A and B are shown apart, each in its own frame.
Chain A
Amino acid sequence: MADAATNKVAFELVTPTALAISEDVDMVVVPGSEGDFGVLAGHTPILTTVRPGVINMYTGGAITKSLFVEGGFAEANPERCTVLAESATDVSELSAADAEARLTAAREALASADEDAKEAAEKELRIAEEMVRAAGGSAAQH
Chain B
Amino acid sequence: MATLKELKTRISSVKSTQKITSAMKMVAASRLKRAQEAAEAGRPYAERMERMMASILDNPGALEGAGALLSGTGSDDTHLIVVVTSDRGLCGGFNSSISRESRIRIRELHGDSKNVKILCVGRKGRDQLKTEFGDAIIDTYEGIGKAGVQFDEAQGVAAKIIEMFEAGEFDVCTIIYNKFVSAITQEVTPRQIIPVQLAEAEDEAETAAPTGPSAIYEFEPSEEEILAELLPANLNVQVFRALLESSASEHGARMSAMDNATRNAGEMIDDLSMIYNRTRQAKITSELIEIISGAEAL
**B162 at interface, CB cutoff 8 A:** no
Interface stretch of the complex, out of A13-21, A56-64, A100-108, A134-142: A13-21
Measured CB to CB, the nearest residue on chain A to B215 is A45
Docked complex: A33-64 residues within 8 A CB-CB of B: 33-34, 44-49
Q: Which of B38, B42, B154, B220 contacts A47 (CB 8 A)?
A: B220
With A45-B216, A46-B219 as given contacts, are A73 and B226 in contact (CB-CB < 8 Å)?
A: yes
With A33-B220, A33-B221, A77-B215 known as contacts, the answer to whether A48 contacts B41 (CB < 8 A) is no
The binding surface of chain A is classed by DSSP as strand
Given contact pairs A12-B48, A18-B41, A82-B48, A47 touches B226 in the complex (Cβ within 8 A): yes
- Asked if B220 and A32 sit within 8 Å, CB to CB, the answer is yes
Given known contacts A15-B45, A47-B56, A86-B151, A73 and B230 CB-to-CB distance under 8 angstroms: yes
* Known A-B contacts A47-B55, A73-B230, A86-B151; A17 and B217 likewise in contact (beta carbons under 8 Å): no
Number of interface residues of A (CB under 8 A): 24
Interface centre among B42, B56, B216, B236, by most chain A C-beta atoms within 10 angstroms, is B42
Question: Which chain A residues border B217 with CB–CB below 8 Å?
Answer: 45-47, 75, 77
A99 interfacial contact with B, CB 8 Å: no
Whole-angstrom distance between the Cβ of A75 and the nearest chain B Cβ? 5
Proximity string of chain B (19-54) to chain A, C-beta cutoff 8 Å, 1 when within and 0 when not: 000000000000000000010011011001101100
Question: C-beta contact mask, A90-134 vs B, less than 8 Å → 1, else 0?
Answer: 000000000000000000000000000000000000000000000
- With A16-B151, A75-B55 known as contacts, the answer to whether A46 contacts B48 (CB < 8 A) is no
Q: Does A69 contact B (CB under 8 A)?
A: no
For B52, list chain A residues within 8 Å (CB): 47, 73, 75, 82, 84
Across the interface, do B240 and A34 meet the contact criterion of CB distance under 8 Å? no
**CB proximity of B150 to chain A, nearest CB, Å:** 9
Task: Check if A46 sits within 8 Å of B218, measured CB to CB.
Answer: yes
Say yes or no: A16 contacts B240, CB within 8 Å. yes
- A121 to B127: give the CA distance in the assembly, Å: 37
A16 touches B45 (CB 8 A): yes
Taken together as a complex, chains A and B put the C-alpha atoms of A84 and B151 apart, in Å, by: 14
- Determine whether B237 belongs to the interface, using a CB cutoff of 8 Å to chain A: yes
Contact A16 B237 (CB under 8 A): yes
**Any chain A CB within 8 A of the CB of B229?**
yes
Give which listed residue, A14, A34, A72, contacts B220 with CB less than 8 A. A34
**What's the Cα separation between A45 and B218 when bound, in Å?**
6
Contact bitstring B215-242, A, C-beta under 8 A = 1, else 0: 1111111000110011001001100100
Map CB proximity to B onto A66-88 as digits: 1 under 8 Å, 0 otherwise. 00000011010100001010100
A8 to B276, CA, bound (A): 76
Point out which of A16, A32, A46, A86 has the most chain B C-beta atoms below 10 A from its C-beta: A16
CA distance A44 to B233 in the complex (A): 25
Judge if B113 is at the interface, Cβ distance under 8 Å: no
> Are the C-beta atoms of B151 and A17 separated by less than 8 Å?
yes
Chain A: CB-nearest residue to B241: A16
Does B207 count as interface, using CB distance less than 8 angstroms? no
Nearest residue (CB) in A for B148 is A17
Instruction: Please list the residues of chain A having a beta carbon within 8 angstroms of any beta carbon in chain B.
Output: 1, 12, 14-19, 32-34, 44-49, 72-73, 75, 77, 82, 84, 86
Query: Can you sample 19 A-B contacts with CB below 8 Å?
Result: A14-B45, A15-B45, A16-B42, A16-B45, A16-B240, A17-B38, A18-B41, A34-B220, A34-B221, A45-B215, A45-B218, A46-B219, A47-B219, A49-B221, A49-B226, A49-B229, A73-B226, A73-B230, A84-B48
Report which B residues bind A (CB closer than 8 A): 38, 41-42, 44-45, 48-49, 51-52, 55-56, 151, 154, 209, 211, 215-221, 225-226, 229-230, 233, 236-237, 240
